[in-house]
Structure 1
C-alpha cells in the first residue's frame, strides 16, 4: 500500500491511497484499488488548527494537488445539487415504486430512513 497527502488547506487535508497486490511466482505487482479521503486537523478542544503547507517537490505531487482541488470543487458542486434534490424529495420520488419508513431506529443514528423497493 502506498499513501500520500495530496492537498492541504488551512485545516483540511486530502490523502490518497493505492493498494497493490503481488503475485509471488512471477514477481508481478498489480493495482487493486485506490481511495481518497479527507480529514481536518483539530486540537484537543475540538477546534480546527492550521496545518503546515504542503511542499510539492515533483511533477506527480503537483498533479495530485491539482486533481485534489478539482475533486474538492466537484464535491462542492455535487453537494449543492443534492441539497436541491433533498428539498424537493417528494417531486424527485413521485414516479418511483418504493416505500419510505421513518419508524426504524438504528443504533448508529437516532432516526434513519430505509427505502424498500416493493411491487406497489
Structure 2
C-alpha cells in the first residue's frame, strides 16, 4: 500500500544526529583536546541522478539543516597564540542534496581521527 511504502521510506532513509568526538589542535600549542559534538549520519538514498550528460551528478546524503559553532580552548599555547577554536555542532539533520561547496559529500581521507597526531608544537 502507498502508506506502508511511505512509512518504510521514512524509516529506512533517515538522517539524524550522532555523537562524535573531534580532536582539535592549534599550531604552536603543545596539547590537543577531545571535543564531543554531534554530526549528521544515517541512511539516505544516495543514487546519483543525471539530467543531461554534461551536468554534474547530484547526490543525496545526510546534511545538517542547522549548525551552531561552539568555542573550545586548546591547552598548552604560548601567549602569542590564540587558544580558542570553533567547532560545528549539528542541531537538525536531513537527507538532502549534498552541496560540494559547503559539505564533504564523500569520505576522501583514510586518516584516522580518533586521537591526536604526534606532531604537535610545530
TM-score bracket, shorter-length normalisation: under 0.3
Give the structure with the larger helix fraction: 1
Give the structure with the larger strand fraction: 2
Larger relative contact order (Cα-Cα within 8 Å, sequence gap ≥ 6): 2
Rg (Cα) greater in structure = 1
**TM-score of the aligned structures, taking structure 1 as reference length:** 0.21
**TM-score of the aligned structures, taking structure 2 as reference length:** 0.21
